[in-house]
Amino acid sequence: MRDFLSVADLGVDGLRTLVDVAGQVKSNPERYSDRMAGRAVGLFFMKPSTRTRVSSELAAVQMGAHPVVLGQHEVGLGTRESVKDVARVLDRYLDVLAFRVFSHGDLIDLAEHANAAVINLLSDAEHPCQAVADLLTIEEHLPLAKATVTYVGDGNNVCHSLMVGGAMLGANMRVVTPLGHEPDARFVELSRLLGGHVEVTNDIAGVDGADVVYTDVWASMGQESEQASRAETFAPYQVNLSLFERAQPSAIFLHCLPAHRGDEVTDEVADHARSRMFDQAENRLHAFKAILLSVFE
Protein backbone atom coordinates (compact mmCIF):
# COMPACT_ATOMS: atom_id res chain seq x y z
CA MET A 1 0.00 0.00 0.00
CA ARG A 2 1.20 3.45 -0.82
CA ASP A 3 1.59 6.30 1.63
CA PHE A 4 0.61 9.87 0.78
CA LEU A 5 2.66 12.09 3.06
CA SER A 6 3.73 14.59 0.42
CA VAL A 7 2.18 15.84 -2.78
CA ALA A 8 5.40 14.66 -4.46
CA ASP A 9 5.00 11.02 -3.29
CA LEU A 10 3.26 9.77 -6.43
CA GLY A 11 5.58 11.48 -8.91
CA VAL A 12 4.46 13.77 -11.72
CA ASP A 13 2.45 11.10 -13.59
CA GLY A 14 0.86 9.85 -10.37
CA LEU A 15 -0.19 13.34 -9.31
CA ARG A 16 -1.58 14.04 -12.80
CA THR A 17 -3.65 10.84 -12.55
CA LEU A 18 -4.81 11.72 -9.03
CA VAL A 19 -6.18 15.11 -10.11
CA ASP A 20 -7.82 13.54 -13.18
CA VAL A 21 -9.42 10.80 -11.07
CA ALA A 22 -10.68 13.42 -8.60
CA GLY A 23 -12.43 15.13 -11.53
CA GLN A 24 -13.91 11.83 -12.71
CA VAL A 25 -15.14 10.99 -9.20
CA LYS A 26 -16.77 14.42 -9.03
CA SER A 27 -18.58 13.86 -12.35
CA ASN A 28 -19.70 10.28 -11.62
CA PRO A 29 -19.69 9.64 -7.86
CA GLU A 30 -22.08 6.67 -8.17
CA ARG A 31 -19.46 4.78 -10.20
CA TYR A 32 -17.25 4.66 -7.11
CA SER A 33 -19.91 3.80 -4.51
CA ASP A 34 -18.52 0.37 -3.61
CA ARG A 35 -14.86 0.79 -4.47
CA MET A 36 -13.80 0.78 -0.81
CA ALA A 37 -16.22 -1.90 0.42
CA GLY A 38 -14.82 -3.86 3.35
CA ARG A 39 -12.04 -1.34 4.05
CA ALA A 40 -11.55 0.36 7.40
CA VAL A 41 -10.17 3.90 7.42
CA GLY A 42 -8.79 5.58 10.56
CA LEU A 43 -9.06 9.38 10.65
CA PHE A 44 -7.05 10.93 13.48
CA PHE A 45 -6.99 14.62 14.41
CA MET A 46 -4.45 16.20 16.71
CA LYS A 47 -5.70 19.69 15.71
CA PRO A 48 -9.13 21.13 14.93
CA SER A 49 -10.69 20.49 11.51
CA THR A 50 -13.94 21.11 9.65
CA ARG A 51 -13.30 20.44 5.94
CA THR A 52 -10.80 17.62 6.34
CA ARG A 53 -12.82 15.92 9.08
CA VAL A 54 -16.10 15.98 7.14
CA SER A 55 -14.76 15.35 3.63
CA SER A 56 -12.57 12.41 4.66
CA GLU A 57 -15.31 10.68 6.64
CA LEU A 58 -17.87 11.15 3.87
CA ALA A 59 -15.42 10.11 1.16
CA ALA A 60 -14.89 6.80 2.98
CA VAL A 61 -18.62 6.22 3.59
CA GLN A 62 -19.64 7.18 0.04
CA MET A 63 -17.23 4.53 -1.33
CA GLY A 64 -18.38 1.79 1.05
CA ALA A 65 -15.59 1.95 3.65
CA HIS A 66 -16.01 2.19 7.42
CA PRO A 67 -14.36 5.29 8.90
CA VAL A 68 -13.22 5.44 12.53
CA VAL A 69 -12.62 9.00 13.70
CA LEU A 70 -10.15 9.49 16.56
CA GLY A 71 -9.00 12.55 18.50
CA GLN A 72 -5.83 13.25 20.40
CA HIS A 73 -7.83 13.41 23.68
CA GLU A 74 -8.54 9.67 23.33
CA VAL A 75 -5.41 8.34 21.59
CA GLY A 76 -2.74 10.45 23.29
CA LEU A 77 -0.30 10.05 20.39
CA GLY A 78 3.20 10.32 21.86
CA THR A 79 1.86 10.92 25.39
CA ARG A 80 -0.47 8.06 26.38
CA GLU A 81 1.28 5.77 23.91
CA SER A 82 4.30 6.01 21.60
CA VAL A 83 3.74 6.78 17.91
CA LYS A 84 5.35 3.45 17.08
CA ASP A 85 2.96 1.44 19.27
CA VAL A 86 -0.10 3.35 18.06
CA ALA A 87 0.98 2.54 14.48
CA ARG A 88 1.44 -1.15 15.23
CA VAL A 89 -1.90 -1.44 17.04
CA LEU A 90 -4.03 0.47 14.54
CA ASP A 91 -2.36 -1.51 11.76
CA ARG A 92 -4.08 -4.64 13.10
CA TYR A 93 -7.52 -3.09 12.53
CA LEU A 94 -7.29 -0.51 9.78
CA ASP A 95 -6.31 -0.39 6.10
CA VAL A 96 -5.63 3.36 6.09
CA LEU A 97 -4.19 5.61 8.81
CA ALA A 98 -5.04 9.19 7.86
CA PHE A 99 -3.51 11.53 10.44
CA ARG A 100 -3.49 15.29 11.15
CA VAL A 101 -0.47 16.05 13.33
CA PHE A 102 1.80 18.87 14.46
CA SER A 103 5.11 17.26 13.53
CA HIS A 104 5.63 15.75 10.09
CA GLY A 105 8.12 13.42 11.81
CA ASP A 106 5.16 11.63 13.47
CA LEU A 107 3.82 10.72 10.02
CA ILE A 108 7.20 9.33 9.01
CA ASP A 109 7.27 7.25 12.23
CA LEU A 110 3.76 5.96 11.57
CA ALA A 111 4.62 5.03 8.01
CA GLU A 112 7.71 3.20 9.19
CA HIS A 113 5.81 1.07 11.70
CA ALA A 114 2.51 0.42 9.88
CA ASN A 115 1.79 -1.63 6.78
CA ALA A 116 -1.47 0.28 6.37
CA ALA A 117 -1.32 3.27 4.03
CA VAL A 118 -0.54 6.50 5.90
CA ILE A 119 -2.15 9.69 4.58
CA ASN A 120 -1.14 13.19 5.69
CA LEU A 121 -4.24 15.17 6.71
CA LEU A 122 -1.97 18.19 7.47
CA SER A 123 1.36 18.49 9.22
CA ASP A 124 3.71 21.38 9.91
CA ALA A 125 5.39 20.64 6.55
CA GLU A 126 2.60 19.86 4.08
CA HIS A 127 -1.12 19.66 3.38
CA PRO A 128 -1.16 17.38 0.32
CA CYS A 129 -4.88 16.47 0.39
CA GLN A 130 -5.62 20.21 0.21
CA ALA A 131 -3.26 20.58 -2.76
CA VAL A 132 -5.06 17.90 -4.79
CA ALA A 133 -8.35 19.78 -4.29
CA ASP A 134 -6.60 23.07 -5.13
CA LEU A 135 -5.17 21.69 -8.38
CA LEU A 136 -8.59 20.32 -9.36
CA THR A 137 -10.19 23.71 -8.63
CA ILE A 138 -7.57 25.54 -10.71
CA GLU A 139 -8.10 23.16 -13.63
CA GLU A 140 -11.84 23.84 -13.49
CA HIS A 141 -10.80 27.41 -14.42
CA LEU A 142 -7.86 26.84 -16.80
CA PRO A 143 -5.25 24.14 -17.55
CA LEU A 144 -2.43 24.14 -15.02
CA ALA A 145 0.14 24.14 -17.80
CA LYS A 146 -1.18 27.56 -18.86
CA ALA A 147 -1.71 28.99 -15.38
CA THR A 148 0.29 31.52 -13.42
CA VAL A 149 -0.56 30.82 -9.78
CA THR A 150 0.49 33.33 -7.11
CA TYR A 151 0.38 32.32 -3.46
CA VAL A 152 0.51 35.39 -1.19
CA GLY A 153 1.19 35.25 2.56
CA ASP A 154 2.94 32.79 4.85
CA GLY A 155 5.28 30.22 3.29
CA ASN A 156 3.58 27.45 5.29
CA ASN A 157 2.34 23.85 4.88
CA VAL A 158 -0.41 24.81 2.42
CA CYS A 159 2.04 26.92 0.42
CA HIS A 160 4.56 24.04 0.26
CA SER A 161 2.09 21.50 -1.11
CA LEU A 162 0.49 23.94 -3.56
CA MET A 163 3.87 25.16 -4.80
CA VAL A 164 5.31 21.68 -5.32
CA GLY A 165 2.09 20.23 -6.77
CA GLY A 166 1.44 23.18 -9.10
CA ALA A 167 5.04 23.15 -10.31
CA MET A 168 4.86 19.38 -10.91
CA LEU A 169 1.84 19.83 -13.18
CA GLY A 170 3.39 22.64 -15.20
CA ALA A 171 1.96 25.79 -13.63
CA ASN A 172 4.06 28.91 -13.40
CA MET A 173 4.26 29.20 -9.60
CA ARG A 174 4.95 32.44 -7.75
CA VAL A 175 5.16 32.78 -3.98
CA VAL A 176 4.98 36.25 -2.42
CA THR A 177 5.77 36.49 1.30
CA PRO A 178 7.12 39.00 3.82
CA LEU A 179 10.85 38.80 4.45
CA GLY A 180 11.62 35.88 6.75
CA HIS A 181 8.39 34.00 5.96
CA GLU A 182 9.44 32.43 2.67
CA PRO A 183 8.66 28.73 2.06
CA ASP A 184 11.22 26.21 3.28
CA ALA A 185 14.06 26.07 0.72
CA ARG A 186 13.76 22.26 0.61
CA PHE A 187 10.34 22.57 -1.03
CA VAL A 188 11.52 25.22 -3.49
CA GLU A 189 14.39 22.91 -4.49
CA LEU A 190 12.04 19.93 -4.71
CA SER A 191 9.71 21.88 -7.05
CA ARG A 192 12.62 22.71 -9.31
CA LEU A 193 14.07 19.18 -9.17
CA LEU A 194 10.71 17.89 -10.34
CA GLY A 195 10.98 20.15 -13.37
CA GLY A 196 8.76 22.97 -12.16
CA HIS A 197 9.06 26.72 -12.36
CA VAL A 198 8.89 28.57 -9.03
CA GLU A 199 9.67 32.18 -8.24
CA VAL A 200 9.83 33.35 -4.61
CA THR A 201 9.75 37.07 -3.88
CA ASN A 202 8.91 39.61 -1.18
CA ASP A 203 7.46 41.99 -3.77
CA ILE A 204 3.68 42.06 -4.18
CA ALA A 205 4.28 42.74 -7.88
CA GLY A 206 4.35 38.91 -8.00
CA VAL A 207 0.54 39.14 -8.14
CA ASP A 208 0.63 41.12 -11.42
CA GLY A 209 -1.06 39.25 -14.26
CA ALA A 210 -1.67 36.05 -12.23
CA ASP A 211 -4.52 33.71 -13.20
CA VAL A 212 -4.96 32.49 -9.65
CA VAL A 213 -4.42 34.38 -6.37
CA TYR A 214 -4.25 32.13 -3.31
CA THR A 215 -3.80 32.97 0.36
CA ASP A 216 -3.94 31.25 3.75
CA VAL A 217 -3.92 32.41 7.38
CA TRP A 218 -0.91 34.39 8.60
CA ALA A 219 -0.59 32.28 11.77
CA SER A 220 -1.25 28.54 11.40
CA MET A 221 -2.63 26.23 14.07
CA GLY A 222 -0.01 26.09 16.80
CA GLN A 223 1.27 29.62 16.04
CA GLU A 224 -1.60 31.47 17.72
CA SER A 225 0.78 33.32 20.08
CA GLU A 226 2.41 34.98 17.04
CA GLN A 227 -0.93 36.23 15.68
CA ALA A 228 -0.51 39.86 16.79
CA SER A 229 3.13 40.28 15.75
CA ARG A 230 2.46 38.63 12.41
CA ALA A 231 -0.54 40.90 11.70
CA GLU A 232 1.80 43.90 11.44
CA THR A 233 4.40 42.11 9.30
CA PHE A 234 1.85 40.64 6.93
CA ALA A 235 -0.46 43.68 6.55
CA PRO A 236 1.01 44.78 3.18
CA TYR A 237 0.29 41.26 1.88
CA GLN A 238 -3.45 41.32 2.59
CA VAL A 239 -5.47 40.14 -0.42
CA ASN A 240 -7.83 43.09 -0.75
CA LEU A 241 -9.55 44.36 -3.88
CA SER A 242 -6.65 46.57 -4.94
CA LEU A 243 -4.21 43.64 -4.67
CA PHE A 244 -6.61 41.23 -6.40
CA GLU A 245 -7.09 43.72 -9.25
CA ARG A 246 -3.36 43.48 -10.06
CA ALA A 247 -4.05 39.93 -11.30
CA GLN A 248 -5.73 39.09 -14.63
CA PRO A 249 -9.27 40.51 -15.04
CA SER A 250 -10.43 36.87 -15.19
CA ALA A 251 -8.32 35.73 -12.19
CA ILE A 252 -9.87 33.53 -9.51
CA PHE A 253 -9.29 33.76 -5.76
CA LEU A 254 -8.56 30.66 -3.67
CA HIS A 255 -8.22 30.08 0.09
CA CYS A 256 -7.92 26.67 1.77
CA LEU A 257 -10.07 27.99 4.65
CA PRO A 258 -10.69 28.68 7.47
CA ALA A 259 -10.21 32.37 6.59
CA HIS A 260 -9.48 35.17 9.00
CA ARG A 261 -11.52 37.77 7.17
CA GLY A 262 -10.06 41.23 7.61
CA ASP A 263 -6.54 39.80 8.02
CA GLU A 264 -5.17 37.85 5.05
CA VAL A 265 -8.30 38.48 2.93
CA THR A 266 -11.04 41.07 2.92
CA ASP A 267 -14.75 40.27 2.59
CA GLU A 268 -14.88 41.88 -0.85
CA VAL A 269 -12.34 39.37 -2.21
CA ALA A 270 -13.55 36.33 -0.24
CA ASP A 271 -17.12 36.98 -1.47
CA HIS A 272 -16.07 38.21 -4.93
CA ALA A 273 -17.83 36.76 -8.01
CA ARG A 274 -14.46 35.24 -8.92
CA SER A 275 -13.80 33.71 -5.50
CA ARG A 276 -13.76 29.90 -5.84
CA MET A 277 -13.02 29.06 -2.21
CA PHE A 278 -16.25 27.14 -1.62
CA ASP A 279 -15.76 25.07 -4.82
CA GLN A 280 -12.31 24.38 -3.41
CA ALA A 281 -13.83 23.23 -0.10
CA GLU A 282 -16.25 20.94 -1.97
CA ASN A 283 -13.38 19.55 -4.01
CA ARG A 284 -11.75 18.27 -0.81
CA LEU A 285 -14.39 15.49 -0.87
CA HIS A 286 -13.70 14.42 -4.46
CA ALA A 287 -9.95 14.74 -3.96
CA PHE A 288 -9.99 12.56 -0.85
CA LYS A 289 -11.89 9.83 -2.70
CA ALA A 290 -9.20 9.85 -5.40
CA ILE A 291 -6.47 9.73 -2.73
CA LEU A 292 -8.12 6.75 -0.99
CA LEU A 293 -8.36 4.92 -4.31
CA SER A 294 -4.72 5.70 -5.11
CA VAL A 295 -3.28 4.13 -1.97
CA PHE A 296 -4.71 0.73 -2.91
CA GLU A 297 -3.34 0.73 -6.48
Q: 69 contacts which partner out of ligand NVA, ligand CP, none, CB within 5 to 8 A by kind?
A: none
* Catalytic site includes residue 129: no
Nearer to ligand CP, 99 or 194 (CB): 99
Q: Where are the alpha helices (DSSP H) in the chain?
A: 11-27, 51-62, 72-75, 83-90, 104-113, 128-139, 157-168, 185-193, 227-234, 241-244, 267-270, 277-295
Give 176's Cβ-side CA count (13 Å radius). 24
Binder among 217, 254, 287, 292 for ligand NVA (CB under 6 A): 217
Of the candidates 162, 120, 176, 157, which has an alpha carbon nearest to the alpha carbon of residue 254?
A: 162
Footprint on residues 51-110 left by ligand CP (CB under 6 A): 51-53
Question: Which entry of 255, 272, 276, 284 is annotated as an active-site residue?
Answer: 284
* Catalytic site includes residue 73: no
CB of 53 to ligand CP, least distance (A): 6
CB of 32 to ligand CP, least distance (A): 22
CB of 126 to ligand CP, least distance (A): 12
3-state secondary structure of 189: helix
DSSP state for residue 77 in the 8-state scheme: B
- Work out the burial of residue 169: count CB atoms within 10 Å of its CB; fewer than 13 is exposed, 13-18 middle, 19 or more buried: buried
CB of 53 to ligand NVA, least distance (A): 11
Nearer to ligand NVA, 60 or 281 (CB): 281
DSSP 107-137: HHHHHHH-SSEEEES--SS--HHHHHHHHHH
Footprint on residues 27-46 left by ligand NVA (CB under 6 A): none
CB of 207 to ligand NVA, least distance (A): 20
Residues 288 and 294: their CA atoms lie apart, in Å, by: 10
Binder among 106, 139, 211, 216 for ligand NVA (CB under 6 A): 216
Residues 277 and 131: their CA atoms lie apart, in Å, by: 13
Nearer to ligand CP, 94 or 122 (CB): 122
Identify whether the C-beta of residue 289 lies closer than 8 Å to the C-beta of residue 59.
yes
Residues 58 and 292: their CA atoms lie apart, in Å, by: 12
The size of the interface with ligand CP (CB under 6 A), counted in residues, is: 10
Binding segment toward ligand CP, per CB under 6 A, in 35-43, 48-56, 176-184, 243-251: 48-56
Footprint on residues 139-158 left by ligand NVA (CB under 6 A): 156-158
CB of 32 to ligand NVA, least distance (A): 25
Q: 88 contacts which partner out of ligand CP, ligand NVA, none, CB within 5 to 8 A by kind?
A: none
Identify whether the C-beta of residue 295 lies closer than 8 Å to the C-beta of residue 117.
yes
Told to check if 256 binds ligand NVA by CB under 6 A, we report: yes
Footprint on residues 62-91 left by ligand NVA (CB under 6 A): none
Q: Which helix (H) or strand (E) holds 40?
A: strand 40-45
Task: Mark 109-148 with x for binding to ligand CP (rule: CB under 6 A) and - for no binding.
Answer: -------------x-------x------------------
Q: Which helix (H) or strand (E) holds 68?
A: strand 66-71
CA 79 to chain centre: 27
Question: Which entry of 9, 106, 230, 256 is annotated as an active-site residue?
Answer: 256
**Residues at the contact surface with ligand CP, assessed by CB under 6 A:** 49-53, 122, 130, 256-258
**Residues at the contact surface with ligand NVA, assessed by CB under 6 A:** 122, 156-158, 216-217, 220-221, 256
